[in-house]
Protein backbone atom coordinates (compact mmCIF):
# COMPACT_ATOMS: atom_id res chain seq x y z
CA UNK A 1 0.00 0.00 0.00
CA UNK A 2 1.24 3.48 -0.92
CA UNK A 3 0.20 6.91 0.27
CA UNK A 4 -0.30 9.10 -2.80
CA UNK A 5 -1.24 12.75 -3.22
CA UNK A 6 -3.41 13.50 -6.26
CA UNK A 7 -3.56 17.11 -7.51
CA UNK A 8 -5.97 18.12 -10.26
CA UNK A 9 -8.43 20.81 -11.25
CA UNK A 10 -11.96 20.08 -10.05
CA UNK A 11 -13.66 21.28 -13.21
CA UNK A 12 -15.60 19.41 -15.87
CA UNK A 13 -12.94 18.04 -18.23
CA UNK A 14 -10.66 15.15 -19.13
CA UNK A 15 -7.78 15.79 -16.72
CA UNK A 16 -10.10 15.95 -13.70
CA UNK A 17 -12.01 12.85 -14.82
CA UNK A 18 -8.82 10.84 -15.32
CA UNK A 19 -7.28 11.90 -11.99
CA UNK A 20 -10.49 11.12 -10.13
CA UNK A 21 -11.09 7.73 -11.74
CA UNK A 22 -7.43 6.81 -11.22
CA UNK A 23 -7.60 7.79 -7.55
CA UNK A 24 -10.78 5.79 -7.01
CA UNK A 25 -9.30 2.72 -8.72
CA UNK A 26 -6.09 2.94 -6.68
CA UNK A 27 -8.09 3.35 -3.46
CA UNK A 28 -10.08 0.23 -4.30
CA UNK A 29 -6.78 -1.65 -4.57
CA UNK A 30 -5.82 -0.55 -1.05
CA UNK A 31 -3.73 2.56 -1.69
CA UNK A 32 -4.38 5.68 0.39
CA UNK A 33 -5.23 8.59 -1.91
CA UNK A 34 -5.21 12.23 -0.81
CA UNK A 35 -6.79 14.70 -3.26
CA UNK A 36 -5.61 18.30 -2.85
CA UNK A 37 -7.32 21.28 -4.49
CA UNK A 38 -9.59 24.28 -4.13
CA UNK A 39 -12.77 22.24 -4.71
CA UNK A 40 -13.80 18.60 -4.71
CA UNK A 41 -13.27 17.12 -8.22
CA UNK A 42 -16.61 16.75 -9.97
CA UNK A 43 -16.53 12.94 -10.14
CA UNK A 44 -14.99 12.25 -6.73
CA UNK A 45 -17.03 10.30 -4.19
CA UNK A 46 -15.81 11.18 -0.71
CA UNK A 47 -17.59 8.28 0.95
CA UNK A 48 -15.11 5.89 -0.69
CA UNK A 49 -12.69 3.95 1.52
CA UNK A 50 -9.06 5.22 1.36
CA UNK A 51 -10.09 8.52 -0.28
CA UNK A 52 -9.37 11.87 1.42
CA UNK A 53 -9.81 15.46 0.27
CA UNK A 54 -7.79 18.44 1.49
CA UNK A 55 -9.16 21.84 0.53
CA UNK A 56 -6.75 24.64 -0.39
CA UNK A 57 -8.05 27.92 1.01
CA UNK A 58 -7.01 31.06 -0.84
CA UNK A 59 -7.61 34.14 1.29
CA UNK A 60 -8.49 37.24 -0.78
CA UNK A 61 -6.46 40.35 -0.04
CA UNK A 62 -7.06 43.81 -1.61
CA UNK A 63 -3.52 44.22 -2.91
CA UNK A 64 -3.85 41.07 -5.04
CA UNK A 65 -5.83 41.45 -8.26
CA UNK A 66 -5.81 37.64 -8.57
CA UNK A 67 -5.62 35.28 -5.57
CA UNK A 68 -2.16 33.59 -5.41
CA UNK A 69 -3.43 30.02 -5.75
CA UNK A 70 -0.05 28.54 -6.71
CA UNK A 71 1.54 29.72 -3.45
CA UNK A 72 -1.43 28.58 -1.38
CA UNK A 73 -1.31 25.16 -3.06
CA UNK A 74 2.45 24.84 -2.46
CA UNK A 75 2.13 25.70 1.21
CA UNK A 76 -0.84 23.41 1.80
CA UNK A 77 0.70 20.59 -0.20
CA UNK A 78 3.87 20.77 1.87
CA UNK A 79 1.84 20.36 5.05
CA UNK A 80 -0.16 17.43 3.67
CA UNK A 81 2.94 15.60 2.42
CA UNK A 82 4.51 15.59 5.86
CA UNK A 83 1.35 15.15 7.93
CA UNK A 84 0.01 12.25 5.84
CA UNK A 85 3.47 10.79 5.06
CA UNK A 86 2.93 10.80 1.31
CA UNK A 87 5.49 8.97 -0.80
CA UNK A 88 4.30 10.32 -4.15
CA UNK A 89 2.51 13.43 -5.37
CA UNK A 90 0.86 12.81 -8.73
CA UNK A 91 0.09 16.04 -10.58
CA UNK A 92 -2.47 16.24 -13.37
CA UNK A 93 -1.92 19.28 -15.60
CA UNK A 94 1.47 20.94 -15.44
CA UNK A 95 0.30 24.53 -14.89
CA UNK A 96 0.46 25.51 -12.06
CA UNK A 97 0.72 22.18 -10.26
CA UNK A 98 4.28 21.27 -11.23
CA UNK A 99 5.66 24.59 -9.96
CA UNK A 100 3.62 24.33 -6.75
CA UNK A 101 4.88 20.81 -6.07
CA UNK A 102 8.48 21.88 -6.62
CA UNK A 103 8.04 24.72 -4.08
CA UNK A 104 6.37 22.33 -1.64
CA UNK A 105 9.29 19.92 -1.83
CA UNK A 106 11.74 22.74 -1.20
CA UNK A 107 9.77 23.75 1.89
CA UNK A 108 9.94 20.31 3.51
CA UNK A 109 13.58 19.35 2.94
CA UNK A 110 15.06 16.94 3.91
CA UNK A 111 11.73 15.07 3.80
CA UNK A 112 11.75 13.07 0.56
CA UNK A 113 8.74 12.76 -1.72
CA UNK A 114 8.56 11.83 -5.38
CA UNK A 115 6.77 14.04 -7.92
CA UNK A 116 5.08 12.66 -11.03
CA UNK A 117 3.51 15.01 -13.58
CA UNK A 118 0.95 13.84 -16.13
CA UNK A 119 0.50 16.08 -19.15
CA UNK A 120 -3.01 16.34 -20.56
CA UNK A 121 -2.48 18.68 -23.49
CA UNK A 122 -3.75 22.22 -23.08
CA UNK A 123 -1.24 22.80 -20.28
CA UNK A 124 1.61 22.17 -22.73
CA UNK A 125 -0.06 24.11 -25.54
CA UNK A 126 -0.58 27.12 -23.27
CA UNK A 127 3.03 27.06 -22.08
CA UNK A 128 4.32 26.69 -25.63
CA UNK A 129 2.27 29.64 -26.90
CA UNK A 130 2.89 32.05 -24.02
CA UNK A 131 6.52 32.92 -23.18
CA UNK A 132 5.40 33.87 -19.66
CA UNK A 133 4.77 30.18 -18.92
CA UNK A 134 7.36 28.42 -21.08
CA UNK A 135 10.47 28.69 -18.86
CA UNK A 136 8.76 27.94 -15.56
CA UNK A 137 6.95 24.97 -17.09
CA UNK A 138 10.16 23.61 -18.60
CA UNK A 139 11.96 24.03 -15.26
CA UNK A 140 9.15 22.47 -13.22
CA UNK A 141 8.84 19.45 -15.51
CA UNK A 142 12.57 18.84 -15.23
CA UNK A 143 12.22 18.88 -11.44
CA UNK A 144 9.60 16.11 -11.61
CA UNK A 145 10.88 12.59 -10.96
CA UNK A 146 8.76 11.25 -13.83
CA UNK A 147 6.66 12.80 -16.59
CA UNK A 148 3.88 11.03 -18.47
CA UNK A 149 1.70 11.99 -21.42
CA UNK A 150 -1.75 10.66 -22.28
CA UNK A 151 -0.89 9.97 -25.95
CA UNK A 152 2.06 9.48 -28.27
CA UNK A 153 1.01 12.68 -30.03
CA UNK A 154 1.30 14.69 -26.81
CA UNK A 155 4.65 13.09 -25.94
CA UNK A 156 6.09 14.07 -29.33
CA UNK A 157 4.61 17.57 -29.18
CA UNK A 158 6.09 18.15 -25.72
CA UNK A 159 9.52 16.84 -26.68
CA UNK A 160 9.49 19.11 -29.73
CA UNK A 161 8.56 22.27 -27.81
CA UNK A 162 10.47 21.78 -24.55
CA UNK A 163 13.96 20.82 -23.47
CA UNK A 164 13.34 17.97 -21.03
CA UNK A 165 16.16 15.99 -19.45
CA UNK A 166 14.01 12.91 -18.73
CA UNK A 167 12.12 10.74 -21.21
CA UNK A 168 8.34 11.05 -21.25
CA UNK A 169 6.40 7.85 -20.70
CA UNK A 170 3.12 7.40 -22.55
CA UNK A 171 0.32 6.10 -20.33
CA UNK A 172 -3.00 6.34 -22.07
CA UNK A 173 -6.20 7.59 -20.56
CA UNK A 174 -8.47 4.72 -19.61
CA UNK A 175 -12.05 3.58 -19.32
CA UNK A 176 -13.91 1.49 -16.76
CA UNK A 177 -15.37 -1.07 -19.14
CA UNK A 178 -17.93 -2.32 -16.62
CA UNK A 179 -19.14 1.16 -15.69
CA UNK A 180 -19.16 2.55 -19.22
CA UNK A 181 -21.46 0.04 -20.83
CA UNK A 182 -24.67 0.75 -22.69
CA UNK A 183 -27.66 0.38 -20.39
CA UNK A 184 -30.39 -1.97 -21.57
CA UNK A 185 -34.02 -0.93 -21.71
CA UNK A 186 -33.52 2.80 -21.18
CA UNK A 187 -36.00 3.65 -23.93
CA UNK A 188 -39.04 2.07 -25.54
CA UNK A 189 -38.38 0.22 -28.76
CA UNK A 190 -40.01 1.62 -31.88
CA UNK A 191 -39.83 4.65 -34.11
CA UNK A 192 -38.12 7.64 -32.50
CA UNK A 193 -35.91 10.55 -33.42
CA UNK A 194 -32.20 9.89 -33.59
CA UNK A 195 -30.23 11.41 -30.73
CA UNK A 196 -26.89 13.05 -31.46
CA UNK A 197 -24.73 14.07 -28.52
CA UNK A 198 -21.70 16.22 -27.78
CA UNK A 199 -20.01 16.48 -24.37
CA UNK A 200 -17.28 19.00 -23.60
CA UNK A 201 -16.24 22.09 -21.65
CA UNK A 202 -17.41 24.35 -24.50
CA UNK A 203 -14.04 25.96 -25.18
CA UNK A 204 -13.40 27.41 -28.65
CA UNK A 205 -11.14 24.52 -29.69
CA UNK A 206 -14.04 22.07 -29.19
CA UNK A 207 -15.87 23.78 -32.10
CA UNK A 208 -19.31 23.27 -30.61
CA UNK A 209 -20.59 25.71 -33.25
CA UNK A 210 -19.58 23.18 -35.90
CA UNK A 211 -21.42 20.48 -33.96
CA UNK A 212 -24.58 22.56 -34.50
CA UNK A 213 -23.77 23.12 -38.19
CA UNK A 214 -23.19 19.40 -38.78
CA UNK A 215 -26.41 18.62 -36.95
CA UNK A 216 -28.29 21.09 -39.16
CA UNK A 217 -27.21 19.12 -42.24
CA UNK A 218 -28.13 15.80 -40.63
CA UNK A 219 -31.56 17.07 -39.55
CA UNK A 220 -32.44 18.00 -43.15
CA UNK A 221 -32.68 14.30 -44.00
CA UNK A 222 -33.06 12.47 -40.67
CA UNK A 223 -35.45 13.24 -37.81
CA UNK A 224 -33.07 13.97 -34.93
CA UNK A 225 -32.37 15.87 -31.75
CA UNK A 226 -29.04 17.28 -30.54
CA UNK A 227 -27.97 17.08 -26.90
CA UNK A 228 -25.19 19.49 -25.93
CA UNK A 229 -23.82 18.50 -22.53
CA UNK A 230 -21.49 20.82 -20.66
CA UNK A 231 -20.77 24.46 -20.04
CA UNK A 232 -18.10 26.98 -20.88
CA UNK A 233 -17.20 30.21 -22.68
CA UNK A 234 -18.82 29.28 -26.01
CA UNK A 235 -22.24 28.41 -24.57
CA UNK A 236 -23.95 31.71 -25.41
CA UNK A 237 -22.55 31.78 -28.96
CA UNK A 238 -23.79 28.25 -29.59
CA UNK A 239 -27.24 29.05 -28.18
CA UNK A 240 -27.46 32.04 -30.52
CA UNK A 241 -26.31 29.97 -33.52
CA UNK A 242 -28.94 27.31 -32.89
CA UNK A 243 -31.60 30.02 -32.96
CA UNK A 244 -30.21 31.59 -36.13
CA UNK A 245 -30.35 28.21 -37.89
CA UNK A 246 -33.90 27.59 -36.73
CA UNK A 247 -32.90 24.61 -34.59
CA UNK A 248 -33.70 25.83 -31.10
CA UNK A 249 -36.53 23.30 -30.64
CA UNK A 250 -34.28 20.44 -31.77
CA UNK A 251 -31.24 21.35 -29.63
CA UNK A 252 -31.28 20.67 -25.90
CA UNK A 253 -28.65 22.30 -23.70
CA UNK A 254 -27.64 20.36 -20.58
CA UNK A 255 -25.23 21.46 -17.88
CA UNK A 256 -22.36 19.30 -16.63
CA UNK A 257 -23.48 15.80 -15.67
CA UNK A 258 -21.76 13.62 -13.10
CA UNK A 259 -23.30 10.52 -14.66
CA UNK A 260 -23.13 10.43 -18.44
CA UNK A 261 -23.71 6.71 -19.08
CA UNK A 262 -27.53 7.11 -19.02
CA UNK A 263 -27.26 9.87 -21.64
CA UNK A 264 -24.83 7.93 -23.84
CA UNK A 265 -27.10 4.88 -23.58
CA UNK A 266 -29.82 6.88 -25.33
CA UNK A 267 -27.55 8.37 -27.99
CA UNK A 268 -27.08 7.18 -31.58
CA UNK A 269 -24.05 9.29 -32.53
CA UNK A 270 -21.32 11.40 -30.88
CA UNK A 271 -19.86 14.46 -32.64
CA UNK A 272 -16.39 15.83 -31.82
CA UNK A 273 -15.14 18.17 -34.60
CA UNK A 274 -12.40 19.71 -32.41
CA UNK A 275 -9.40 21.58 -33.72
CA UNK A 276 -7.21 20.16 -30.91
CA UNK A 277 -7.45 16.97 -28.83
CA UNK A 278 -4.48 15.47 -27.02
CA UNK A 279 -6.43 12.26 -26.43
CA UNK A 280 -10.22 12.51 -26.64
CA UNK A 281 -11.55 10.93 -23.44
CA UNK A 282 -15.15 11.87 -24.26
CA UNK A 283 -14.85 9.97 -27.53
CA UNK A 284 -13.55 6.89 -25.72
CA UNK A 285 -16.42 7.05 -23.23
CA UNK A 286 -18.90 7.23 -26.10
CA UNK A 287 -17.37 4.33 -27.99
CA UNK A 288 -17.37 2.14 -24.90
CA UNK A 289 -21.09 2.87 -24.42
CA UNK A 290 -21.86 1.77 -27.97
CA UNK A 291 -22.06 5.23 -29.54
CA UNK A 292 -20.11 5.69 -32.80
CA UNK A 293 -18.02 8.85 -33.04
CA UNK A 294 -17.56 11.29 -35.90
CA UNK A 295 -14.49 13.35 -35.06
CA UNK A 296 -11.53 15.33 -36.37
CA UNK A 297 -8.38 13.55 -37.50
CA UNK A 298 -6.14 15.62 -35.24
CA UNK A 299 -3.88 15.24 -32.20
CA UNK A 300 -4.30 12.03 -30.24
CA UNK A 301 -7.73 11.11 -31.65
CA UNK A 302 -6.29 8.70 -34.27
CA UNK A 303 -4.86 6.73 -31.32
CA UNK A 304 -8.41 6.33 -29.97
CA UNK A 305 -10.55 6.08 -33.13
CA UNK A 306 -9.75 4.35 -36.40
CA UNK A 307 -12.02 4.48 -39.43
CA UNK A 308 -14.56 1.74 -38.93
CA UNK A 309 -13.40 0.99 -35.38
CA UNK A 310 -15.50 3.08 -33.03
CA UNK A 311 -16.22 5.74 -35.63
CA UNK A 312 -14.73 7.78 -38.46
CA UNK A 313 -12.26 10.67 -38.67
CA UNK A 314 -12.20 13.68 -41.00
CA UNK A 315 -10.23 16.92 -41.39
CA UNK A 316 -11.59 19.42 -38.83
CA UNK A 317 -13.14 21.67 -41.49
CA UNK A 318 -14.78 18.86 -43.50
CA UNK A 319 -18.30 19.43 -42.21
CA UNK A 320 -19.82 17.99 -45.38
CA UNK A 321 -17.89 14.74 -45.00
CA UNK A 322 -18.77 14.45 -41.34
CA UNK A 323 -22.44 15.09 -42.07
CA UNK A 324 -22.56 12.53 -44.90
CA UNK A 325 -20.93 9.79 -42.82
CA UNK A 326 -23.13 10.65 -39.84
CA UNK A 327 -26.23 10.21 -41.98
CA UNK A 328 -24.94 6.88 -43.25
CA UNK A 329 -24.32 5.61 -39.70
CA UNK A 330 -27.71 6.77 -38.47
CA UNK A 331 -29.59 5.09 -41.31
CA UNK A 332 -27.60 1.87 -41.71
CA UNK A 333 -28.17 -0.36 -38.65
CA UNK A 334 -25.74 -3.01 -39.87
CA UNK A 335 -22.88 -0.51 -40.26
CA UNK A 336 -23.78 1.15 -36.94
CA UNK A 337 -23.59 -2.16 -35.07
CA UNK A 338 -20.37 -3.23 -36.81
CA UNK A 339 -18.59 0.03 -35.95
CA UNK A 340 -19.74 0.11 -32.32
CA UNK A 341 -18.89 -3.54 -31.63
CA UNK A 342 -15.39 -3.08 -33.06
CA UNK A 343 -14.96 0.06 -30.95
CA UNK A 344 -15.83 -1.64 -27.68
CA UNK A 345 -13.48 -4.54 -28.43
CA UNK A 346 -10.68 -2.02 -29.12
CA UNK A 347 -11.43 -0.08 -25.92
CA UNK A 348 -11.41 -3.26 -23.84
CA UNK A 349 -8.08 -4.35 -25.28
CA UNK A 350 -6.23 -1.03 -25.34
CA UNK A 351 -7.74 1.30 -22.72
CA UNK A 352 -9.08 -0.99 -20.02
CA UNK A 353 -8.87 0.60 -16.56
CA UNK A 354 -7.21 -2.45 -14.99
CA UNK A 355 -4.44 -2.43 -17.60
CA UNK A 356 -3.68 1.29 -17.27
CA UNK A 357 -3.82 1.30 -13.45
CA UNK A 358 -1.19 -1.46 -13.43
CA UNK A 359 0.99 0.78 -15.63
CA UNK A 360 0.66 3.64 -13.15
CA UNK A 361 1.41 1.33 -10.22
CA UNK A 362 4.53 0.10 -12.00
CA UNK A 363 5.59 3.72 -12.57
CA UNK A 364 5.04 4.54 -8.89
CA UNK A 365 7.16 1.59 -7.80
CA UNK A 366 9.91 2.40 -10.29
CA UNK A 367 9.95 6.06 -9.29
CA UNK A 368 10.05 5.31 -5.56
CA UNK A 369 12.88 2.87 -6.12
CA UNK A 370 14.99 5.44 -7.96
CA UNK A 371 17.49 7.55 -6.05
Instruction: Given CATH 1.10.150.650, say whether it is the number of domain 3-174+352-369.
Output: no
Taking the model in full, what pTM does it have?
0.90
In this structure, the number of other CB atoms found within 10 A of the CB of residue 332 comes to 12
DSSP assignments along 44-70, one per residue? --TTSTTEEEEEPP----TT-SS--HH
Give just the sign of the alpha carbon dihedral 190, 195, 21, 308.
positive
Average pLDDT of the chain is: 92
- 190 pLDDT more than 70: no
Strand (E) or helix (H) holding 251? strand 251-254
Let me know the angle formed at the C-alpha of 247 by 242 and 253, rounded to the nearest 5 degrees.
Answer: 60
The whole-angstrom separation of Cα 116 and Cα 125 is 19
pLDDT at 128 over 80: no
pLDDT exceeds cutoff 70 at 189: no
pLDDT band at 66 (very low <50, low <70, confident <90, very high): confident
Distance CA 200, CA 122 (A): 14
Q: What is the pLDDT of residue 12?
A: 67
Give the up-direction half-sphere exposure of residue 345: CA atoms within 13 A in the CB hemisphere.
Answer: 9
pLDDT at 149 > cutoff 90:
yes
pLDDT score recorded for residue 185:
62
Once rounded to an integer, what is the mean pLDDT over residues 12-40? 91
CB 35 within 8 A of CB 23: yes
For the segment 292-341, what is each residue's pLDDT rounded down to a tens digit?
999 999 999 999 999 999 999 999 999 999 999 999 999 999 999 999 99
Find the mean pLDDT for residues 270-277.
Answer: 96
Domain boundaries, the chain: 3-174+352-369, 194-350
CATH fold match for the domains 3-174+352-369 and 194-350: yes
Q: How many CB atoms lie within 10 A of CB 72?
A: 16
d(CA 85, CA 5): 10
Top CATH class of 194-350 equals alpha beta
Q: Categorize the per-residue pLDDT at 188 as very low, low, confident or very high, splitting at 50, 70 and 90.
A: very low
Q: Dump pLDDT digits (tens) for 94-126.
A: 989 999 999 999 999 999 999 999 999 888 877
Yes or no: say if 250 and 224 are a contact pair by the CB < 8 Å rule. Answer: yes
Q: Is the pLDDT score of 213 beyond 60?
A: yes
Amino acid sequence: MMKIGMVCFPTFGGSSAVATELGLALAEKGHEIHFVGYEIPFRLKLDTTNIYFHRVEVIPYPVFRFPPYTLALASHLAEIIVKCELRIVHLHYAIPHAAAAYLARQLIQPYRVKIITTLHGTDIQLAALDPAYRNITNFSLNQSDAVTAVSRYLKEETEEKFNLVKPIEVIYNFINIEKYSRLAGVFNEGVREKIIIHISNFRSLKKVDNVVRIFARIAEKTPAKLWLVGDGPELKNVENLSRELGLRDQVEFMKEKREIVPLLSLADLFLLPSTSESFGLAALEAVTCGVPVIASRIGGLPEVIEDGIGGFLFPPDDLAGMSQKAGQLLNDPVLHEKVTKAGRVMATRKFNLEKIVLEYEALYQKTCGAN
